[in-house]
Structure 1
Amino acid sequence: MYVLYEESGNFKAQKIFSQSDSTMQVESESGKRSKIKNAAVLFNFEQPVPAELMTQAEALAQTLEIDFLWECAPQEEFEATAFAEDYFGHVPSAVEKAALIFALNSAPAYFHRRGKGCYRPAPPDILAAALAAIEKKQKQAAQQQEWTDQMMAGVLPEPIAEVASSLLTRPDKNTLQWKAFEAAVNQTGTSPEKLLLSLGAWPHALALRQHQFLSTHFPQGTEFAPVTLEEVGSDLPVTDVIAYSVDDSSTIEVDDALSVSTIDENTVRVGIHIAVPGLAVCRDNEFDKLARRRMSTVYIPGLKIPMLPRELISAFSLDEGQQRPALSLYVTANLSTGEVLSSETRLERITVKENLRHNTLDAQVTEEALNDPDAALPYGEWLRPLWRLAIQLAAQREQVRGKPENNNRVEYSFVLDGPHDNPDSRVQLVPRRRNAPLDRLVAEYMILANNTWGGLLAQHGVPGIYRSQQAGRVRMSTHALPHEAIGVPQYAWSTSPLRRYVDLVNQWQILAAAEHGVSARLVAPFKPKDADLYAIIGAFESQYTAWSDYQSAMERYWCLRWLQQQGITTVQGSIIRDDLVRLDCAPFVTRVAALPELERGQVVSLDIMGFDELGLEIDCRLREVVEA
């Protein structure tokens, strides 16, 4: 004896092995036994054997017209095996009963299930609606398949082109366009970016990458609406120091300037003057909300997306010849030993005499010229004492670090002679060593300010945002902790408030500490254990990483363009480790396939086989090992 039963939505026919009141054991053709409930059985039969029953019943079910079945069926609930006798006009065979059950079950729009083997015909109005929905779904499936086929053939359908801008960043995954696009991606085995680029949704890889970044992080555009500023700082005392700033030629946000005055042969008073946008940008005001959304200025070759509106930058940037508010740290120090004798923080107005630029001074400001009092040196009366003290301060930090800083690597500026969004713009790679004297000098005083002001906050119990490094781990926190890599007891970013939100937050806290001293913790914008300060750290780190990653990606892109524009097909590089090579001619690190085991620092010559501007990689092969 055999049974037809239903299990997990599937029909099965098997031989009865044993049976009890509520269950039975059945045996498959292969001999496998399983236990089922009697309630799952649709009917028993003696012939044909189960495998033939299933084959014959499925074939017969295909011949039954569902429309005719619906017309013939009772209008109330009915049992399929009973209806089979009326439909076939005789006592149905096991094959006929199974075929009818299969047919009824395959048409849920026509027949609604009402339990094991029982059905009810759908009312005419409900059936009409269901059939219309099925037809609509079939048409949608056909349309979706048509779009997928077109993309597989290299054609971009117009409906896909219309939503292409959202497919990579904010896709509506319920639309036919997305489903067709996703199917094309899966069938081609490529990435969404590569498929869209190959279909011409974007004219080139640069446009696609810029779209991804800007639509994700700046969906409303990068420009601020015009803002109006009230005058601030006009009542501050005016200082008559002679101060200069040193920046790249492209810098528009002049955050810092330096002044120096000689007290005696071995003692100087150095002024570190920082722009004070914190006078206008206050916690939770409209300017603060704008700055907090961006967290930092974005720098990519040919483009800068500022953190603050241009009106604010213009009002507080320490531009030459303009009287501006400044948060000044005055340090009195011994030139021979680097000992800091005293420090004072003041809020005042200064006029920077001149904004100096690296590209016009680096060639003249050498260590030899700085160390030789008789050598020709522009701004020598300002540079030489600053340099002497900077050397002593660096030596003190080096003693704490226990080893010299490695600042010999060449860094590059990217200069475009055309729009940043045009891949045909010519790019120049302008090299500059990190340990150039002007770089070292300015960096030393920024470290001094960040260390001193971080100590001021800690001294008065005012929380700030510190950047520390211990046991090789770099992190940000609200507590003063050592930065072992720099060699200072604490380090609070505070010298770039026009460009970094963390510096702006610390500036508010420093202003409170400088004005109120021991009572500052009661009046500072952020009190100890303020949860919002921790939220700022998390948001800043996330945003700053996103900006940094995009900057790196765009620099890699323009390196690829530079190599192609220069017609370079053979390059030299140095082994970093394993198959990783740093090129000598550009700031670019690449992997080289099938590279033999080589020592770190070995120089190799590479043949460039091709460029992947979307993946930001070059395809290169080892030409020869040049030297150890």
Structure 2
Amino acid sequence: MSEFKIGALVYYKSKAARVNAVGDKDDKIEISILKTTKRVRDKDIKLLHPGPVSDISTLDIELPDPPETLSETLELLEEEAVSLSELSDFLYGEFSPQSAWSSWMLVMDGLYFELLADENAKDAGQDLIKARPQELIAAEKEKRESRIQQQEAWDALIKRISNGRIEETDYPQLIEVEQLACGERENSRILKAAGIQETKEAAHALLIKLGYWPQEYNPWPRRMGVTMSNPEIAIPEAVETSRRDLQHLQAWAIDDVGNQDPDDAISLEGNRLWVHIADVSSLVIPDSELDIEARSRGTNVYLPDQTIHMLPSGITQQLGLGLQEQSNALSIGFTIGENGELEDIELCFSLLHVTRTTYDDADKALDSTFIALKSVTDRFHQRRINNNAAMLDLPEVNIRVDNGEISIRPFKQGGSRKIVTEAMLAAGEAVALFAHKNNIPIPYAYQPEPIEIQHPQKMSEHYAYRRCFKASRHTTEPAAHFGLGLPIYTRVTSPIRRYLDLIVHQQLRAFLTQHSQQPQRPLLGHEELVERIGLADEASFAARKAERNSNQHWTMLYLNQYKTKQGEGNGNWQGEAVVVMHDERKTTLILPDLAIEPKLQRQDNTELDQSVTVQVESVNIPELRAFFRVVN
């Protein structure tokens, strides 16, 4: 026969229950838990009181406040273990269903009493209960009070966050939200508690709303894992190098206004074009501390409000062309035939006198000082066109932030910028040809040919053609770069700011100095080169994405701040947009003044390449989205 009787009070999964029916030995027992009825095995319940209990709802089932007899009971039970019925009698002066349940709750709470339980006991009367030591009770009380205070503080924090008002003492708690906004973790307990979606964008928006971040804060470099500090590594003495004196040449370093790292210059000696590049390999030796640091960074990171360098700034001051009275360079000389082909290629370490100027000033002298350089580089340019180079003509802008002021200015195409671009591309082809001829392992840049070769004329055609291209890649074997229209190419002109360019310089130095009296490093082998390419490409990819999204970030801020700067009235930004694509639901525009490509609901009344005027309706900085409407 079962020891459980109808009407008995039992304990089932932390709840009070009443026995309603008892079957035969192998049958289950029916119990009721308030309004719920269940059939359970006898081993799943524990008898607290034989009853009778008419209805569980008549019992106070909450954890009771300690009775007045608690202190006396604890003293009596310091050295003695008792049954539940005895404990109930000590605490409440009786053993009733209510006193049995209240006593059992105090035992289960674990603050004042501990259970010396028999796992096989079905009757709580078979368990022995003893008082906990006073020092453990005091410690547990302190711990519980601390938890209560922490919960109250947490609830108050979530309430302040929900109300959009925080205190300075809340800042340490919000670090987890900042980490989520920067992609350094995947979730946030705070956002979950506040009912906010656990995404980077939602975290970013909340931090701005709370004033934890200023609206200008740019999270994109951190999201991409970009190191935000410049390297601070001692710069060694330059490697002693035999140099050819080319100071008789007029060497020009032509850059944008404000450029701080001039690493290339050009000059013309008769019909020979010289491209001079800062001799960084004389300071950065393969596998040195500087080299390893540059390898991990991959490239300079150019943000609108700052530049994060791949190498210590002291190297630029020491080696930047035109920053010292004399400049050390790796010079690449060649002639460009009437058909645009490179001939008579030579490389040497050189000593130069370099004059710095800007594209704006050089453009004023295109028909005088730079007319011969333009003629030479135009031949190379025409050859690339004949090779179906992708001469994409889409808007580009320069975004700068100076003292909090955001300026966005379109790049001027052509002119002296075209001269420099063509000279640098020619130098890349010349070095690639030289390296291939002399079996020097270097990273070659290549780009596969698109499925269909096009010659776009209109902006919509340039936009569509760009979508046909795969990104350029690096390889240890020479291959054609379709986009540039070159059969072989390497990037070599920016060793101060691009690690793969620096590798090319290091390899060229190893080759050019192999017969010198100074001890030299050997050429990197294939496996070493592949490893370096992989590391540099990974770091460079992160840097480029950080740059693109940072430019978008500051563009969104520019649009958002525009109205404020215009004063009263409707000061939302307005400007020209060109329709470049229609799809089933959306129309894509290009805004030449901003170089952004927003999408609108399909504009059936517009044609491709039609110019329309658009106005900003709203800006979402965390999502890098601006919403426009057509106003004419």
TM above 0.5, yes or no, is: yes
Larger RCO, structures 1/2 (Cα 8 Å, 6+ apart)? 2
1:446 equivalent to 2:431? Answer: no
Cα distance in 1 for partners of 2:588, 2:42 equals 64
**8 Å Cα contact 1:259-1:270 kept in structure 2:** yes
Report what 1:80 is aligned to.
84
Counterparts of 1:58-457 in structure 2, within 5 Å, are: 59-63=60-64, 65=66, 68-69=69-70, 71-72=72-73, 74-75=77-78, 76-80=80-84, 83-84=87-88, 87-90=91-94, 92-93=96-97, 96-105=99-108, 107-115=109-117, 117=124, 118=127, 119-161=129-171, 168-169=178-179, 183=193, 186=196, 191-202=202-213, 204-206=214-216, 208-209=217-218, 213=222, 217=226, 221-222=229-230, 225=232, 227=234, 230-232=237-239, 235-239=242-246, 240-262=248-270, 268-292=271-295, 294-319=297-322, 322-335=325-338, 337-352=339-354, 354-362=355-363, 365=366, 376-392=367-383, 394-398=384-388, 405-414=390-399, 418-419=402-403, 422=404, 425=405, 427-434=406-413, 436-457=414-435
Cα deviation, residue 129, structure 1? 0.6
Report what 1:479 is aligned to.
476
Secondary structure, aligned partner of 1:529:
helix
Change (3 A) 1:478 1:20: farther
| Percentage of identical aligned residues | 17
Q: Which runs of 5+ in 2 are unaligned?
A: 1-5, 182-187, 451-468
Secondary structure, aligned partner of 1:155:
coil
**Root-mean-square deviation over aligned CA pairs:** 4.2
Secondary structure, aligned partner of 1:346:
strand
Cα deviation, residue 126, structure 1? 0.5
Change (3 A) 1:256 1:65: same
What TM-score comes out, normalization by structure 1 length? 0.76
Cα deviation, residue 97, structure 1? 3.4
Counterparts of 1:606-617 in structure 2, within 5 Å, are: 606-613=614-621, 615-617=623-625
Cα distance in 2 for partners of 1:114, 1:287 equals 67
Q: Which runs of 5+ in 1 are unaligned?
A: 172-177, 263-267, 366-375, 399-403
Bigger CA drift: 507-516 or 271-280?
507-516
Cα deviation, residue 613, structure 1? 4.8
Change (3 A) 1:407 1:246: farther
**8 Å Cα contact 1:3-1:41 kept in structure 2:** no
Cα deviation, residue 168, structure 1? 1.5
User: CA offsets, 1:194-246, max 9 Å, x none?
Assistant: 334334345x411x337985997556x54x55855535556422134443232
Secondary structure, aligned partner of 2:136:
helix
1:542 equivalent to 2:552? Answer: no
Report what 1:589 is aligned to.
597
User: CA offsets, 1:90-144, max 9 Å, x none?
Assistant: 5534x55344333432x22223344455444321111101101111222232233
Bigger CA drift: 583-592 or 559-568?
559-568
Report what 2:462 is aligned to.
none
Report what 2:553 is aligned to.
553
What TM-score comes out, normalization by structure 2 length? 0.76
Secondary structure, aligned partner of 1:287:
helix
Bigger CA drift: 500-509 or 446-455?
446-455
Secondary structure, aligned partner of 2:396:
strand
Q: Which of 434, 442, 446 is matched with 1:464 structurally?
A: 442
Counterpart residue type for residue 348 of structure 1: S
Cα distance in 1 for partners of 2:40, 2:409 equals 79
**8 Å Cα contact 1:454-1:491 kept in structure 2:** yes
Cα deviation, residue 358, structure 1? 1.4
Cα deviation, residue 254, structure 1? 1.5
Secondary structure, aligned partner of 2:484:
coil
Report what 2:505 is aligned to.
507
